[in-house]
Chain A
Amino acid sequence: MPHKLISRALVYGVLLLAACFFLAPLYVMLATSFKDAEQIRSGNLLSLPHSLNFEAWTLAWSSACTGTDCRGLKPFFWNSVIMVVPAVLVSTLWGAMNGYVLSLWKFRGSEVMFGCMLFGVFMPFQVVLLPMSQVLGWLGISSSIGGLIVVHCLAGLAGTTLFFRNYYASIPKELVNAARIDGAGFWRIFFRIVVPMSTPIVMVTLIWQFTNIWNDFLFGVAFSGADSKPITVGLNNMVNTSSSVKSYNVDMAAAVIAGLPTMLVYVLAGQYFVKGLTAGAVKG
């Protein structure tokens, strides 16, 4: 029995140590954001803040400077919100319809077409940056939030189509065939049979798209203008702005603010997020 006891202690010891390793940066971020400059200088990474001082948070939200622009993160946060909501809804709905056709209304060549689209999940988006920026210019939406919404819808389409197609593939064919014999058409089957069964995959896709688009940096930095920068770009510029004194407490508060929405979604609906992650890894 003592042998068993030691091995249990070892298992828990390793797991808890790992938990500390994963939580440490989050703790450091939060602790630093509540300190003032003096405490940061005198204390260390792990020392507790003396009090819950929200000054750095207010600064980060509404008055921290990036260069000469001292409006804090607020404008970038709202840019991200305005960008993320339509982009997530459109790409999810679009993916649902594509997935519905590709799983329940297969036609000659549809499998091959799907295979071609699948590469869009993996391709390095660096390849589309230059052509896309020219197309956005032609459409008159370069450096705008509208342009970013278009890019995110297109970039996410392959993934959302894949999610819905694989989910709808598990709907029994007999169900659809019976409805068809009863005279139900394409849309009727979609809205009456398929949509009511879709809640789990809709959740997975919404959360997946939300996390991806909110966290995107590449498209944001390449395609946004002065007034349309998303939060990731705003945060990065703020942190890397060259000022004489580095205020790490403001940087950390800003980082927490930028991470808060996706973190909240993860805490509230983690199981859907994990499903999206693992579904994204094991294709087909």
Chain B
Amino acid sequence: MKLNFETALPKLVFAPGFVMGMAFIYGFMVWNGVLSVTGSRMLPNYNEFVGLAQYVRLWESERWWVALKNLGLFSVFYVGGAMLIGMGLAIFLDQKVRLEGALRTIYLYPMALSFIVTGTAWKWILNPSLGLEKLMHDLGWRSFHFDWLVQSDTAIYCVIIAGIWQSAGFAMALFLAGLRGIDDSIIKAAQMDGASLPRIYWRIILPILRPVVFSTVMVLSHLSIKGFDLVMALTGGGPGYATDVPATFMYVMSFTRGQIGLGAASATMMLASVAAIVVPYLYSELRAKPHDR
């Protein structure tokens, strides 16, 4: 009897976490899916089955298309910008510089701050009258004009700038860790052969770093799909709904506009896009594991 209890104990300890984790992740996923095929408005209403009508509405909604377009712009520039700056900084930091620790700390501190905090700061910096524009005027650039934050077609780029600023240090940390894993002798050997440093990085180091590049893209792009706080802090989705992204669309429909069914449908679309990126990645990571050990 005691033996049985001893062997069951680990399972008993893990059971609550597993059951609640599964309920939270997959149970709610299904539940959200159920909501998305109902006509729920202010309150969930499970008696009114509408089939895929909410999805049809979603894809016919102009606001959803604006949100998707913004997500597209944001993902491309945010992921690309953070990667480029992060990789550049990592390569420069890897040149045996003094103060490396201090510089790393400076590049990475935005990641410790809430997007609401940094968004508030950027909102002030980018505000059209007293912000960057005034600074440039005082520095002598009289004709400088900057009102991107309040223009419908440019406000999303303000979100992108703040996003890149927040995350570039994170990309830097990942690349630097990757660079440190590369054997110095490879670089030395290439230098003996007369290869220039830029050429060595481009032709030798970058290909070695491909897995790091890959996982950085994965992480940043799934972050961009989930992106919510920064938009809320910087523009609140405005002007109008010009800077809406799927995450803010979902929130507004579900919690302020009383369109729970539509909100649930948009959440399902977000889930599908994150899953499309992450599941193959997780699968390959988990499969690759036994060889590492």
Contacts and interface: CB of A to CB of B under 8 A. Distances in A.
Interface of A: 11-12, 14-15, 18-19, 21-26, 28-29, 32, 40-41, 44-47, 94, 97-98, 100-102, 105, 107, 110, 113, 115-120, 122-132, 134, 154-155, 157-158, 161, 185-186, 211, 214-218, 221-222, 232, 235-236, 239-240, 248, 251-252, 254-256, 258-259, 262-263, 265-267, 270, 273-274, 277-278, 280-284
Contacts of A19: 103, 106-107
Given A186-B10, A281-B216, 14 more contacts: A15-B92, A113-B18, A116-B22, A119-B275, A120-B21, A124-B226, A127-B32, A157-B20, A215-B113, A216-B114, A217-B114, A255-B120, A258-B117, A262-B114
A281 B82 CA distance: 15
B131 interface: yes
Interface string B239-258: 00000001100110011000
B282 interface: yes
Interface residues of B, number: 97
B288 A130 contact: no
B250 A239 contact: no
Interface string B213-255: 0011001001001101100110010000000001100110011
B285 A284 contact: yes
Contacts of A281: 170, 174, 215-216, 219
A282 B215 CA distance: 7
B38 to A, nearest CB: 11
Contact of B28 (A113, A117, A128, A280): A128
Given A97-B17, A239-B123, A217 B116 contact: yes
A277 B263 contact: no
B192 interface: no
Contact of B279 (A119, A130, A256): A119
A284 B285 CA distance: 6
Contacts of B118: 25, 259
9 contacts: A29-B124, A47-B138, A101-B11, A126-B250, A130-B264, A218-B228, A218-B229, A262-B114, A267-B105
